[in-house]
Amino acid sequence: MKYKRILLKLSGESLMGDKAFGIDNNRLSQYANQIKEIYEQGVEIAIVIGGGNIFRGVQAEEGGMDRTHGDYMGMLATMINAMALQAALESKGVQSRLQSAIEMKEIAEPYVRRRAVRHLEKGRVVVFGAGTGNPYFTTDSAASLRAIEINAEVILKGTRVDGIYTEDPEKNPDATKYDVISFDDVYGKGLKVMDMTAFTLCKENDLPIVVFDMDTPGNLVKVLSGEQVGTIVRN
């Protein structure tokens, strides 16, 4: 395997599958199968998942709700997704632990960096819920922060497109894909990979990001095997 310890970032929207809202059990199972595949090869796996399939803090602002209030609601949405993913993993025999940035002792451990690292060393998948525990920070920022804290070698950002393109490939079919691109070029070309806070954290800590299509079964193990799948962003 090319990487020993990874942080996998999944969007909440990706869990919807073909549904308009909530969680598609088939998509959840497919993701769990892909994670199990690399788990069985000894990769240490941490996961951060968004909550956009249930609630997004920015929606609250549009409706006149206080942004801070909305962001905390979004953090609770990520916990629902994290619990669903943990259940899917454990149903397939994958040992996992759920840690929350907001204390919810009945359903998750509090986030403790040393404990998270110990779980990884013992071969458990660690799912981080509730973002950073702070409003105004996205789950992309949480993924970058947690990856740096646990000394992950890479962030794997699973999306519905197979990498980073010169333009949105869903709008312009002539857009061309980058296999490798630097952080500076992403800045300069105005390409959207992560929000600026998350992206800057990765750049300053020399943490590469691989953007790839998680919806195609087998892609995750291909990335870990060093095959050219998706786009690598690095210094």
pLDDT in tens, the chain (235 residues): 899 999 999 999 999 998 888 999 999 999 999 999 999 999 999 999 999 999 977 777 777 889 899 999 999 999 999 999 999 999 999 999 999 999 999 999 999 999 999 999 999 999 999 999 999 999 999 999 999 999 999 999 999 889 999 988 888 888 999 999 999 999 999 998 999 999 999 999 999 999 999 999 999 999 999 999 999 999 9
44 in Cβ contact with 120 (< 8 Å): yes
pLDDT of residue 20: 87
pLDDT of residue 56: 78
pLDDT of residue 155: 98
Question: How far is 145 from 135, CA to CA, in rounded Å?
Answer: 15
Question: How far is 19 from 217, CA to CA, in rounded Å?
Answer: 19
Domain boundaries, the chain: 5-234
Domain 5-234, CATH class in plain words: alpha beta
pLDDT of residue 134: 97
pLDDT of residue 106: 97
Question: How far is 230 from 160, CA to CA, in rounded Å?
Answer: 11
Report the relative pairing of strands 125-129 and 96-100 from DSSP bridges.
parallel
pLDDT of residue 173: 86
pLDDT of residue 168: 83
Query: Which stretch of DSSP H or E encloses residue 45?
Result: strand 44-49
